[in-house]
Structure 1
Amino acid sequence: MPRERLSVVVTRRLPEVVEKRLCELFDTELREDDRPMSNDELIAAMCRADVLVSTITEHIDAAMLAHAGERVKLIANYGAGVDNIDVATARQRGILVTNTPGVTTDDTADMAMALILAVTRRIPEGLAVMQNGKWSGWAPTAYLGGRVGGRRLGILGMGRIGQAVARRARAFGMGVHYHNRRRLRPEVEQELGATWWESLDQMVSRMDVMSINCPHTPSTYHLMNARRLKLMKPSAVLVNTSRGEVVDENALTRMLRAGEIAGAGLDVYEHGAEINPRLRHLDNVVLLPQMGSATVEGRIEMGEKVIVNIKTFDDGHRPPDLIVPSML
């Protein structure tokens, strides 16, 4: 007799080609709409599925896992970050957790550079004037931004994405500096033209642009806190395309309003979609709706990784992107 197909529940709408392949391979339950599942819906999904395909909008904590029942054996996260899942508790309950690393490295690095350019060259201000029909013609002193070439870029977190940002910044003529939990190998530093700073405080105080590219962990929560933000030069710019929790959003907002920091480009926020309303009205801030990894190619590749992880698990082998607590 043929083996019973694995039961898979998908929490959000995914690209059509990904959903079609999931349905071909597994007994897949797709989402009819694209709203996030409630906690009760998530618990119910885990109780009836062998595999839950989650996204960053689902926060699966210890309390939720305690009510998940015994059936679910794999949470295949559609995304590189897994800070939305209590991985340690999941493993204690015999539930494996996988992610989709490396897929959106270039997409996110492109967005970091786009934000650096948008803030330093005042692109949103120019766009707003054109859309409002208020442009009256060229003027020598209108919308003066600054060159990125020659500026010092400080990268906080020199993993895959941080290194991709460094390569792009170097092509724009920026000086590349970084702070990381571990120093890169000399040959990698040389290839990137990057200078390592053991002291984050010292690096922050000397940079023209700060790019946040580290994951959210207990040790990186508010790593850019009020004290550290005050070390930044008044002419400096901060860009965040990694996790909003790394930056104290209220402190950043106060400093931007007071002119103590020149500008910011944000694609992620400390409280998810609940953005500090004072940020929305600042001319020196560029806000994006978590678009860093939003490319058709990237989203499909993420789905392909999810499918490989589930198929490998279904075949009785270790999923290639298995997360273990010691990795976090």
Structure 2
Amino acid sequence: MTKPKILIARAVFPEIIARLEQYFEVESNQGDAVWSGAELAQRLQDKEGAFTTGGERINAAVLAAAPRLRICANMTVGYNNFDLDAMTAAGVLATNAPDVLTETTADFGFALLMATARRITESEHYLRAGQWTRWGYDMFAGAEIHGSTLGILGMGRIGQGIARRGAHGFGMKVIYHNRSRLEPRLEAECKACYVGKDELLKTADHLVLVLPYSPASHHAIGSSELALMKPTATLVNIARGGIVDDAALAAALRNRTIAAAGLDVFEGEPQVHPDLLSVPNVVLTPHIASATLPTRLAMASLAADNLIAFFTRKAPLTPLNPAVLAIK
């Protein structure tokens, strides 16, 4: 029997490719070329499935060029690279990889919070530049973390992980805002108190963004929101680029509207707004919150599981548009 053809759109673990080759005729991109939309569409013309990494946009134009495509499996939890409406209309299933990266990403979010509050990047640059010639009582004096108020915007699994770390590990008061309030059991577990968005912005000493990206959350943090924050506050974004207005944030950092920021995601990444590169009070990392080898392997394995399940007539584990399965 002829195996279904699939495309692996970016370089991935060799053991994942070997596993998929048991079920599929695989075209892989181990050279890790970054294809344009037209190039991706051309590669997908004869494919029935795709293994994607979150950067490959599956939209109406790509779908029109790939009439045999039946499933796209992201190895990331985010899926704003998928036009779900267009995929559903074309009968193409979308899946993602939640849960397996929750704790690792929460670890990194807290690490970025600490680096931002304690001015790690600024002080390292100072040291590397040979400027450290003496000690001063206020040299790189940052913000306290223990006992401070941790604000979380977006309280899904990762937000809850950060809340637990703050409340239980650092004795922080945790407040949060979310589209819907957590059930009492989860609030108690996280030691978290639900507040309105404006109160969250005004009250938090450290604000962490963990909400999904959508048109409704585009620039959820802009100049007016930043103006509500304390001048001593820090902001950390491990969610998605576009949730923060990066130009407004750079201006707020330069003007000391807020004290500092830590960013792992950016609008238009891998490009970074040039104004963010010129302010000292920001920690910048290249979208690495889930970057441990065990977690990345688990993410890739879940994407492979979804592909294999779909083509062996089993239920995919994490469908994003399950209505497609009902149609089939």
For the superposition of Structure 1 and Structure 2, which TM-score range results when normalised by the shorter chain? over 0.9
The answer to whether the aligner puts 1:275 opposite 2:272 as a matched pair is yes
SS where residue 25 of structure 1 aligns? coil
Q: CA deviation at 1:246?
A: 0.9
Gaps of at least 5 residues in structure 2 are 324-328
Residue of structure 2 in register with 1:42 after alignment: 40
The answer to whether the aligner puts 1:112 opposite 2:101 as a matched pair is no
The answer to whether the aligner puts 1:58 opposite 2:94 as a matched pair is no
RMSD: 1.5
Given that residues 266 and 287 in structure 1 are in contact (C-alpha distance below 8 angstroms), is that contact kept between their aligned partners in structure 2? yes
Residue of structure 1 in register with 2:188 after alignment: 190
Deviates more, 1:53-62 or 1:258-267: 53-62
Query: Normalised by the size of structure 2, how large is the TM-score?
Result: 0.94
Q: CA deviation at 1:166?
A: 0.4
SS where residue 94 of structure 2 aligns? strand
Give distance in 2, aligned partners of 1:187 and 1:237: 29
Deviations 1:88-129 (A, max 9, x none): 111111111111111111111111111111111111122223
Q: CA deviation at 1:137?
A: 4.8
Residue of structure 2 in register with 1:234 after alignment: 231
Instruction: Name the amino acid aligned to 1:313.
Output: F
Q: 1:166 aligns with which of 146, 163, 168?
A: 163
The answer to whether the aligner puts 1:91 opposite 2:109 as a matched pair is no
The answer to whether the aligner puts 1:77 opposite 2:111 as a matched pair is no
Which stretches of structure 1, 4 residues or longer, exceed 4 Å deviation after superposition? none
Give distance in 2, aligned partners of 1:18 and 1:175: 42
Residue of structure 1 in register with 2:11 after alignment: 13
Residue of structure 2 in register with 1:126 after alignment: 123
Residue of structure 2 in register with 1:312 after alignment: 309
Give distance in 1, aligned partners of 2:322 and 2:176: 26
Q: CA deviation at 1:17?
A: 2.2
Deviates more, 1:72-81 or 1:55-64: 55-64
Query: Normalised by the size of structure 1, how large is the TM-score?
Result: 0.94
Give distance in 2, aligned partners of 1:64 and 1:236: 43
Residue of structure 2 in register with 1:257 after alignment: 254
Deviations 1:125-184 (A, max 9, x none): 222233334433544332212220121111001000000010111111211110011111
Q: CA deviation at 1:76?
A: 0.9
SS where residue 215 of structure 2 aligns? coil
Q: CA deviation at 1:261?
A: 0.9
Given that residues 226 and 257 in structure 2 are in contact (C-alpha distance below 8 angstroms), is that contact kept between their aligned partners in structure 1? no
Instruction: Name the amino acid aligned to 1:88.
Output: D
Deviates more, 1:122-131 or 1:102-111: 122-131
Instruction: Name the amino acid aligned to 2:274.
Output: P
Deviations 1:170-203 (A, max 9, x none): 1112111100111111111111110001x20122
SS where residue 307 of structure 1 aligns? helix
Give distance in 2, aligned partners of 1:133 and 1:259: 26
Identical columns (%) = 37
The answer to whether the aligner puts 1:218 opposite 2:215 as a matched pair is yes
SS where residue 233 of structure 1 aligns? coil
Residue of structure 1 in register with 2:326 after alignment: none
Q: CA deviation at 1:315?
A: 1.1
SS where residue 16 of structure 2 aligns? helix
Given that residues 10 and 53 in structure 2 are in contact (C-alpha distance below 8 angstroms), is that contact kept between their aligned partners in structure 1? yes
Q: 1:323 aligns with which of 305, 314, 320?
A: 320
Q: CA deviation at 1:53?
A: 0.9
Deviates more, 1:15-24 or 1:302-311: 15-24
Give distance in 2, aligned partners of 1:237 and 1:265: 8
The answer to whether the aligner puts 1:298 opposite 2:295 as a matched pair is yes
Instruction: Name the amino acid aligned to 2:303.
Output: V
Q: 2:177 aligns with which of 157, 164, 179?
A: 179
Residue of structure 1 in register with 2:132 after alignment: 135
Give distance in 1, aligned partners of 2:322 and 2:11: 28
Given that residues 17 and 300 in structure 1 are in contact (C-alpha distance below 8 angstroms), is that contact kept between their aligned partners in structure 2? no
SS where residue 20 of structure 2 aligns? helix
